[in-house]
Amino acid sequence: MGNKKNNMKKIKRALISTWDKNNLKKLLSKLRKEKVELISSGGTYKEIKKLGFKCLEVSNFTGSNEILNGRVKTLHPKIHAGILSVRKNKKHKKDLIKNKFKEIDLVIVNFYPFEKTLESTKNHRIILENIDIGGPAMVRAAAKNYNDVVVITNPNQYNELIRELIKNKGSTSLSFRQKFSKEAFAETAYYDALIANYFNITLKDSFPKKKILFGNLIEKLRYGENPHQESAIYSFSKKTKLNQLNGKQLSYNNYNDIFSALAISKSLPKNQGTVIVKHTNPCGVSINKNNLKSFKDALACDPLSAFGGIVACNFKIKKKLAKEINMLFFEVIVANGFDKKALRILKKKKNLRIIDSTKTKIIDIENILTNFNMMLIQKPDLKKFTKKNFSLVSKNKPNSKTLKDLIFAFNICRFVKSNAIVIVRNNATIGIGGGQPSRIDSCKIAINKMNKFHNLKDSDEILAASDAFFPFVDGFEKLIQAGITAVIQPSGSIRDKEIIKFANETKTKLVFAKTRHFKH
């Protein structure tokens, strides 16, 4: 009991300097009730006075006027000595008495809106002026001295502070101060990481000597890939751009599949693409201006694998399509909006997770893989394909429609686990094979899927894509024997000439891509 009592610290003096001035009145009322002396500066001082509370301006407290247009106001020994002094340290006490400094027991600070500034302007001068110096300095000082000082960095923490003061009659416990110290250091670290990242982008330094990761907790998930794994999702911004309209909480696997589905759908022509994903691999993709046909063609690729998967449409889902979707079991439906009738139909399934991805954009941010206390970082594979990225190397040349279909197939290939083979017909996948150590095995899987679910006519033009070159003729030959009439693959094999020769002998249209697109 004695230790607990000694851990309690009475708040006698508070320094308040906030950019976000919301919810101050309720907290100020409690501090006045506890007879806490208030010190503040600039706009916060004016706001406190406007709300009708007594307050001492920082310049009067320190005896020094603000200078450099407000850049220097709280950066003063009287402020930092008051925050950093260890109450039980006799030398610290003597120093305070000698310099006529006073202890500061509570620091309430939030920072200049650097993150919001980045979202609203590219003006470097304005961005620099929104880098807070004095605020983080005070917060770090208070957080370091948590044994004696409370630090509050967010208006969302005010109610918890009020409850603590009520519970302890104007004092705070050590555990309370430790908790908010931890949150304060996280806040300053996040703030500095944003700044460091901004300068890395400005100076085009993708791989600096020190890599700082930052993120905001969106939610703790029930578990990870398996029930014994803990999991959470973070966002690099303040909130996720995925708007959940219905259904159960998203799981780790749901998010993983959604990311994969969105990456594919956002790479397709707007308002035309449907993607069905299972275990991060596409099991059906289609482009069609008729949205209902787009969905049906994607589903037809592999309807068995689609069961329990995720559907992503890069268009608004309407009533007819919603009815079609509701006839089957899917875990998640992602789209660029839903009309009212479609939403009403889809919501009949209470557990169906419905996600509006209208505001979600694919951005050029690094892919990160961590293991063994190390990070692998790479730029994402967001290359936009044009005809210039490909060479027509066979004697039998593809026409513009065939080339377009081949490029569609090659684009899907990069989203399938390597080794990847994608077979298409009329801008829709009809066979996908991937994740195999052997490319010929992926050919067999794609061909088997095609033959299992599709009745092919002799007049059908069937095309295939490979995410990397065929090292031998055998895989290529397997595709030709299955009825494929055109193939697209990256060049780079020492046997490229053999592949071209075989294509010419079999009158197969062959296109070489200038880039490889593995997904391991």
Please compute the mean of the pLDDT values over residues 359-374 and round it to a whole number.
Answer: 84
For residues 427, 389, 357, 344, the Cα torsion angle rounded to the nearest 10 degrees is: -10
**Is 124 an active-site residue?**
no
* pLDDT tier, 4 (very low <50, low <70, confident <90, very high otherwise): low
- The Cα angle at residue 364 between residues 210 and 264, in degrees rounded to 5: 135
Q: Tell me the fold of 2-202.
A: Rossmann fold (3.40.50)
pLDDT attached to residue 1 = 42
* Strand-pair category, 171-172 with 9-10: antiparallel
Contact 478, 441 (CB under 8 A): no
For 145-184, the DSSP string reads TTTT-EEE--GGGHHHHHHHHHHTTTEE-HHHHHHHHHHH
What are the pLDDT digits (tens) for 95-114? 999 999 999 999 999 999 99
For residues 398, 404, 405, 410, the Cα torsion angle rounded to the nearest 10 degrees is: 100
Higher pLDDT pick, 238 / 185: 185
pLDDT attached to residue 3 = 59
pLDDT attached to residue 262 = 94
User: How much is the pTM?
Assistant: 0.86
Please provide the distance, in angstroms rounded to a whole number, between the alpha carbons at the two ends of the chain: 58
Q: Which of 154-168, 211-225, 290-304 has the lowest mean pLDDT?
A: 211-225
**Is 340 an active-site residue?**
no
* pLDDT tier, 382 (very low <50, low <70, confident <90, very high otherwise): confident
User: What token pair was written down for 30?
Assistant: 């409690």
**Residues of the chain with pLDDT > 90: what percent?**
79
Q: Which of 119-128, 248-257, 348-357, 456-465 has the lowest mean pLDDT?
A: 456-465
**Sheet hosting strand 37-40, strand order edge to edge:** 56-57, 37-40, 13-18, 106-110, 150-152
Q: HEC profile for 249-282?
A: CCCHHHHHHHHHHHHHHCCCCCCCEEEEEECCEE
User: What token pair was written down for 451?
Assistant: 């033959």
| 3-class secondary structure, 108 | strand
pLDDT attached to residue 62 = 87
- Establish how many alpha carbons lie within 13 A of residue 218's alpha carbon, considering only the half-sphere containing its beta carbon: 21
What are the pLDDT digits (tens) for 302-334? 999 999 999 999 999 999 999 999 999 999 999
| Alpha helices by DSSP H, 327-438 | 340-346, 400-413
What are the pLDDT digits (tens) for 206-250? 899 998 888 899 999 999 999 999 999 998 877 778 999 999 999
Please compute the mean of the pLDDT values over residues 396-419 and round it to a whole number.
Answer: 95
Q: Measured between alpha carbons, how far is 337 from 349 in angstroms, rounded to an integer? A: 18
| 3-class secondary structure, 394 | coil
Q: Is the pLDDT of residue 164 over 80?
A: yes
For 174-186, the DSSP string reads HHHHHHHHHHHHH
Domain at 241-356: CATH architecture: 3-Layer(aba) Sandwich (3.40)
Q: Is the pLDDT of residue 296 over 90?
A: yes
pLDDT attached to residue 194 = 93
* pLDDT tier, 2 (very low <50, low <70, confident <90, very high otherwise): very low
Contact 138, 109 (CB under 8 A): yes
Please compute the mean of the pLDDT values over residues 453-462 and round it to a whole number.
Answer: 86
Dihedral pair phi/psi, residue 81, rounded to 5°: -70, -40
- 108: Cβ contacts below 8 Å, ≥ 6 apart: 14, 15, 16, 17, 18, 27, 151, 152
Please compute the mean of the pLDDT values over residues 388-401 and round it to a whole number.
Answer: 94
Q: Tell me the fold of 387-513.
A: Cytidine Deaminase; domain 2 (3.40.140)
- Please state, rounded to an integer, the average pLDDT across all residues of the chain: 92
| 3-class secondary structure, 12 | coil
**96-105: long-range contacts, CB 8 A cutoff, minimum separation 24:** 101/77, 102/13, 102/78, 103/12, 103/13, 103/148, 104/13, 104/14, 104/15, 104/39, 104/79, 104/142, 104/149, 105/9, 105/10, 105/11, 105/12, 105/13, 105/14, 105/36, 105/148, 105/149, 105/150
Listed in order, strand segments (DSSP E) in 206-258 are: 216-221, 231-235, 243-246
Contact 514, 490 (CB under 8 A): yes
Whole-angstrom CA distances from 52 to 58, 387, 426, 473 are: 18, 69, 72, 84
Residues of each domain in the chain carrying CATH 3.40.50.1380 = 2-202
User: What token pair was written down for 337?
Assistant: 């909006």
- 77: Cβ contacts below 8 Å, ≥ 6 apart: 99, 101
Of the listed 144, 320, 341, 444, which one is catalytic?
144
User: What token pair was written down for 316?
Assistant: 């608004």
pLDDT attached to residue 5 = 65
Least Cα distance to 368 among 507, 236, 202 occurs for 236
Of the listed 12, 102, 279, 347, which one is catalytic?
279
Please compute the mean of the pLDDT values over residues 451-479 and round it to a whole number.
Answer: 90
Residues of each domain in the chain carrying CATH 3.40.140.20 = 241-356, 387-513
Q: Is the pLDDT of residue 397 over 80?
A: yes
Least Cα distance to 267 among 275, 278, 279 occurs for 275
